[in-house]
Amino acid sequence: MSTRFSSLDSMLRPRSVAVLGASNDPTRIGGRPISYMLSQGFAGAILPVNPNRAEVQGLPAYASVADLPSVPDAAIVAVPAELAVQAVDDLGARGVRSAIVFTAGFAEMNDAGRLTQDRMLAAAGRHGMRLLGPNCLGLFNAHIGFYPIFSSSFENGWPRPGRIGIASQSGAYGTHMFATARNRNIGTPICVTTGNEGDVTIGDVIGWLAEDPETDVIAAYAEGIREADSFLAALAAARAARKPVVMMKVGTSTLGARAAQSHTASIAGNDAVTDAVLAEFGVVRARTTEEMLDIATTATRRIYPARNTLGVITISGGAGVLISDAAEALGLPMPEMPADAQARLKAMLPFAAPRNPVDCTAQAFNDMSLIGRFTDSMIEDGGYASVLAFFTQVGGAASIAPKLREQLNASKARHPDRLFVLSVVAPPERIREYEADGFVVFEDPTRATVAVHAMGRFGEAFANAPGLPPPAVPIVDLPLTNPSEAAAKRILAEAGIPAAPEAACDSVDAAMEAAERFGYPIVLKVLSPDIVHKSEIGGVILGVRGAEAVRAGYATLIDRATAAMPTARLEGVLVAKQLRGGVECILGIQRDPVFGPVALFGLGGIFVEVLRDVALHRCPFGPDVAERMIRSIRAAPVLLGARGRPSADIAALAAMLSRLSVFAHQAGPRLRSIDLNPVFAMPDGEGAYAADAVIELGDIAC
């Protein structure tokens, strides 16, 4: 276990705990944790700290941290904000390794609260103590009866046994997830809420769960990712341990992002970038709590098909259509059964529709062995990795369910590597029987299809071998200020990113000479580090032919620039060879405030401006990742030779994109953005060339 993650052991698996602000009233914030731990059999020492009482809830109480008879592993801080900083300092000085700070009134409030929080964190840091919160609801670890939490949700029931761990920035929503899971008989014995994340982040918690032998699946709720390093390390650890992470990441709207900042003082960031990072590590993003629990429950079966295909056996043609629609929308393949297998099934049951979905109709229940034979055929002949069986209320009937279970269990035993999911409407006790047999059960077949698809996404992530290393790119010194287009292209050329043949010209004669050298037609562009969007002022002239057209175009561009931006620094005109026969693409870099430089790829024109058809990936990466990005966009067929067009030079385009990602990574925080638009992807074997380049830099002091 990594040091950062294992340092949470004393917080999440302590042998003893002090409670500062301990209350004799089991309904108060300082009283609930003690009451809960006593009722749930926490085996460690519980040490209440209350200067006004000799006893709290039947336990000896101590006047101060200094009076504690031993040094506890962890402490709960439930004292007013004005006392909390000193309390944390006292705990650290005594040698306590972890503090769980319930107290609110810190960074989530205002700047003054942030300064107070910083003082608290500094006190914890001086003593090497980990701190959860402040402004957090706490956590629970039902495996050991440890409940440093003040939620009232336990009045309605305790966590079920199971192997799903919850990590949540929001305390109320974290316990909402637990309570919803409990009511659905889903086991979530560990839940950690991080509050303001002054020290312990959601990444730390995910990392600890990824390396916890009692956790198989991680369900996470996040409003914003505050600290990238621990988050990325945690996702990598979960993937390496083959532990699925399903996450609700909220704050996608402008209003939602503002609410997230005020609620937990977190940075919502760019949601599209977060989505790309989650996809990079195989995290499945859930849209609702119901969907999160559906996916997490299915994942506890620990069957993750790397090449997922869905076979459907149904007694309803309508349900088969519904499932097929859902699978197609998700991109979950449902290939047909082989023709010879269809013929055999048809011979067994003439009423059957055996393509896939395989509709065995209700007639199959007259000879229950048909269910087993049809299911076996789907796996052995169809080769499906996942099987979804729709039996609706028939599967819940007391006269049918035992024999149906017998057939399904026999088929599952013969094929233990396949994922079996049922869509059944049945009484709770019947559902529990199917679940005890190892089936995942849903009433709604669409929800079942979503969960099956998610298992394939996990499988793909777990199966992916490490990619090619990023290419070696020379480290290029950045200028002091934003470069002009010509200077930007020279910088990128040093990194091996080619541009179309061009020349920066500070006179008409130089422009005419360059045009003759490149051959017509050529492109003329005004050259100024202060004019980023040249087309908006008419600063680009295409298709220029002949010396006189060059002379006139040069004068026109200078006049337009002077009129539109009188204070702009003019360096002349850029003369470039006009490329023909390629596909216009956009390659870009944007520095995300959390994850650093992120690369973008898409096609030019309406594909970017209107359709937002782009791929994003964190930098740096190799050419294999770049090629996956290129092929992932919806408009990729335009590059791959659609409708008789020549295929573009994908290898050259991928090489350019991967080199750009390395350049951006090496450039450091001063690089804010790069925009290569358009890049011409020429026909296969002819390369890719940047026709325009904009580099935006930050202050040297950044």
3-state secondary structure 65-113: HHHCCCCCCEEEECCCHHHHHHHHHHHHHHCCCEEEECCCCCCCCCHHH
Residue 55 has pLDDT above 80, yes or no: yes
Superfamily name with CATH number, domain 501-577? ATP-grasp fold, A domain (3.30.1490.20)
Instruction: From 206, 160, 152, 186, select the one nearest 2 (Cα to Cα).
Output: 206
Give the mean pLDDT of 600-628.
Answer: 87
Instruction: Report in angstroms the alpha-carbon separations of 488 from 427, 693, 697.
Output: 68, 6, 11
Give the mean pLDDT of 678-686.
Answer: 95
What is the rounded distance in angstroms from the CA atom of residue 700 to the CA atom of residue 437? 63
Residue span(s) of the chain under CATH 3.30.1490.20 come to 501-577
Residue 625 has pLDDT above 70, yes or no: yes
Q: Which of 40-49, 183-192, 466-475 has the lowest mean pLDDT?
A: 466-475
Give the mean pLDDT of 423-443.
Answer: 96
The number of residues making up the chain comes to 702
* Pairing relationship of beta strands 386-392 and 310-314 according to DSSP bridges: parallel
Residue span(s) of the chain under CATH 3.40.50.720 come to 1-136+145-150
Give the mean pLDDT of 386-401.
Answer: 96
pLDDT band of 361, cuts 50, 70, 90: confident
CATH of domain 583-697: 3.30.470.20
Superfamily name with CATH number, domain 152-300? Succinyl-CoA synthetase domains (3.40.50.261)
pLDDT band of 609, cuts 50, 70, 90: low
- How large a percentage of the chain has pLDDT more than 70? 96
**480: buried, middle or exposed (CB in 10 Å: 19+, 13-18, 0-12)?**
exposed
Query: With contact defined as beta carbons under 8 Å apart, do 439 and 627 qualify?
Result: no
CATH of domain 310-463: 3.40.50.261
pLDDT band of 465, cuts 50, 70, 90: confident
392 residue type, one letter: T
H and E: helices and strands count for the chain: 24, 28
pLDDT band of 3, cuts 50, 70, 90: confident
What pLDDT is recorded for position 610?
Answer: 67
pLDDT tens readout for residues 261-274:
433 333 334 788 99
Angle between helices 369-380 and 339-348 (to 10 degrees): 180
Q: Hey, what CATH topology would domain 1-136+145-150 get? A: Rossmann fold (3.40.50)
What is the rounded distance in angstroms from the CA atom of residue 252 to the CA atom of residue 224? 10
Residue span(s) of the chain under CATH 3.40.50.261 come to 152-300, 310-463
- DSSP assignments along 292-330, one per residue: HHHHHHHHTT----TT--EEEEES-HHHHHHHHHHHHHH
